[in-house]
Amino acid sequence: MTFSQRALYILRTFIKYISLVLITFISILPTVSTVITAFKTEEEYTSTNVMTPPNSWVYFKNFVTAWKDANMGLAFLNTFIILVFVLIGSIMFGAMLAYILSRFKFRGNEFIRNLFLFATLIPGIATQVTVYQIMHSMKLINTLQGYIILMMGTDVISIYIFIQFFENISVSLDESAIIDGCTYYGVFFKILFPLLKPAIITCMILKGVSTYNEYYMSNLYLQNKSIFVTVSTSLYTFTGPYGNQYNYICAGVIITILPALIIFILCQKQIYSGLTQGAVKG
Amino acid sequence: MSNLNTTASKGGILSRLIKWLRSGKGQRCIIMITFMTVPLLLLIGFTYLPFFKMFEFSFFNMKYIGERKFIGLDNYRDVLADKEVMNSLMLAVYYLIGSFIQLALALYFATMLSFKTKGGSFFKGTIFFPYLISGIAMGFIFKFFYTRGFVFDTVLTRLGFELENLPYWLRDKGINNVSLVATSVWKYMGQNMVLFIGAIMSVDKELYESASLDGANRWHQFRYIILPSISTIIVLNMILSITGSLSAFEPPYVITGGTRGTATFFLLMHNMAHRHQKVGKASAMALILFSLIIIVTIAQKLIFKYVFSDSNEDVSKKTARMLRKQRAKEAMR
């Protein structure tokens, strides 16, 4: 390596790490500042600058108040129930539909595929005007089951992930099972479904994240917030009476982010690969 | 006699039905029906039925409850003549520029992190994490962040700016939309980056090795190996960001509520439907948006058909083949 090459190499490495540190700073600054504020007493909050660290990092009163006032215990319970049903439902229905579409040749197969594909172009929030009417006429507003059905709805991305996955599983597996006297149900539930595990994990992560963070529809369809509060709508409590008391608001925000952070740290790899797979066709 | 005959033939039909159900064809039919009914019902009930109803509503002057009146194309005319709507379409340009900046940043950091980097997974994780923060939490975080004298102002004053010279980030009409677009870049840049890293990783490793043996520097590697092999996904993301910026909704909805000239098309439509209860006009807006999306999608299909017609073939493989041929030629000499 000549001198100029070495100088260039050092300069490049320097720029690389400077830009990485800078973008990391920008990425975490907003969240870190809420963490700082969440640990401050009311007096500290009004008297010190927002970026001054709190006196004590074990002052949890804000979290306790936020948890109680926003009814977060119930919110986490509701969100958990919703997650369980939505995940089971959307994965089962997605895998079942993908099985039919990838394994059975029939007239209308292509049509159904296109029907699902075309649905992705219809802007979801825009149709809520009329979906609201339909939900109203089915008496599904302000019920958990209504919201769950709606969220299970059309999850095109998971259907595509499953179809892709099925196409990589040899058809001879099905055929030999059928010859051995297995029914189609047996083929699906006993043979293929267990093989789908990686695809199921991918879909669980994608759907799980979007369900946990979903707040537009839960705000619209679960209006009775004293019973049907979810994690994301529980934060709405802070818009009214708390106004500018950010020490409580920040504590609430941190509580809702924490589960996402833990899941992220535990399954980083699956989340990345899930996103990459989901984007290929979606 | 005739009675007996019919029952006999009925029994015949029944037994034939049972026989058919037990046959392979019948089994196929049953499983197709049982496995497809629910997903199709959900699709039709919550996507297509609302969509067609919306089409119908767009011709009426109506609220959620009460009488409705057919008014033909008046809703569409009203929407297109609305100054606020035109303003909101101008806002889409802000979001479009924002998403192009976002893609450029994502590509820059993705390329960087695809090569060996100290603490690479830490950087990747922190850049990506904002994507997992829910919209409503993000709303609070940025209301706090941009408040006068709070986080952003503190950082800027430490850097030497005077507080008096700084604008009100969410109030001043010249800057508030830029502030909102920045939050959207903040949230989605990491996700784009992860997608790009995935695409770059799928490029054949051998290519880099042989290229660096041939004396290619980093820029050459980026320009001639990485860029061509992920150009499809870049162009796709660029086109998607057009529809994305037309339907930008979250930042103004959770942070400013669309006040002070920050209302995007989607937000106006939401307010029209749920605050003013003008269902007909909101439906017309939705359909205008939908037709814009369709136009962009058709353009995308055409671009991919004629410009990237060989996109089915893995570009990296093609480049690999080319390189191999070249090397063979050199060896012959």
Structure tokens at B37: 């009914």
Mean pLDDT score of chain A: 85
The reported pLDDT for the residue numbered B4 is 47
* Region class of B305: left (phi > 0), else alpha (psi between -120 and 50), else beta: alpha
The reported pLDDT for the residue numbered B311 is 47
Helix/strand/coil percentages in chain B, nearest 5:
80, 0, 20
Nearest neighbour of A126 by CB, restricted to B31, B195, B269: B269
Which residues from chain A sit within 8 angstroms of residue B112, using beta carbons?
A: 16, 19-20
The reported pLDDT for the residue numbered B1 is 42
Task: State pLDDT tens for residues A86-113.
Answer: 999 999 999 999 999 988 888 888 898 8
Do the bridges between strand B69-70 and strand B60-61 make them parallel or antiparallel, or are there none, so unpaired? antiparallel
Task: Identify the residue among A22, A103, A130, A191 best suited for mutation to test binding to B, counting B beta carbons within 10 A and taking the highest.
Answer: A130
The reported pLDDT for the residue numbered B127 is 92
Q: Which chain A residue lies closest to B272 (C-alpha atoms)?
A: A129
The reported pLDDT for the residue numbered A206 is 83
Distance CA A70, CA A116 (A): 38
Nearest neighbour of A134 by CB, restricted to B45, B186, B199: B45
What separation, in Å, do the N-terminal and C-terminal C-alpha atoms of chain A show? 46
Q: How many helices (H) and strands (E) does chain A have?
A: 16, 0
Say if the Cβ atoms of B35 and A99 lie within 8 Å. Answer: yes
Q: Smallest Cα–Cα separation from A63: which of A256, A255, A260, A257?
A: A255
Distance CA A125, CA A131 (A): 10
The reported pLDDT for the residue numbered B328 is 62
Q: What ipTM goes with this model?
A: 0.86
**What letter would DSSP give residue A212?**
H
Task: State pLDDT tens for residues B79-106.
Answer: 888 888 888 888 888 888 998 999 999 9
Say if the Cβ atoms of A130 and B297 lie within 8 Å. Answer: no
Measured between alpha carbons, how far is residue A152 from residues A16, A207, A225, B4, B136 in Å?
A: 43, 9, 21, 51, 21
Given pLDDT bands bounded at 50, 70 and 90, which one contains residue A173? confident
Say if the Cβ atoms of B132 and A260 lie within 8 Å. Answer: yes
Task: Identify the residue among A4, A19, A25, A27 best suited for mutation to test binding to B, counting B beta carbons within 10 A and taking the highest.
Answer: A27
The reported pLDDT for the residue numbered B104 is 92
Nearest neighbour of A123 by CB, restricted to B274, B293, B297: B293
Domains annotated on chain A, with CATH? 74-221+256-281 (1.10.3720.10)
Say if the Cβ atoms of A24 and B36 lie within 8 Å. Answer: no
Which residues from chain A sit within 8 angstroms of residue B203, using beta carbons?
A: none
Which residues from chain A sit within 8 angstroms of residue B117, using beta carbons?
A: 16, 20
Domains annotated on chain B, with CATH? 74-332 (1.10.3720.10)
Task: State pLDDT tens for residues A202-247.
Answer: 888 888 888 998 888 888 888 887 888 898 888 887 876 666 788 8
Given pLDDT bands bounded at 50, 70 and 90, which one contains residue A85? very high
DSSP, collapsed to helix, strand or coil, labels residue B60 as strand
The reported pLDDT for the residue numbered B185 is 92
Closest Cα in chain B, distance from residue A239 (Å): 9
Which residues from chain B sit within 8 angstroms of residue A183, using beta carbons?
A: 27
CB atoms within 10 A of CB B64: 12
* Ranges of chain B with pLDDT below 50: 1-6, 8, 311-313
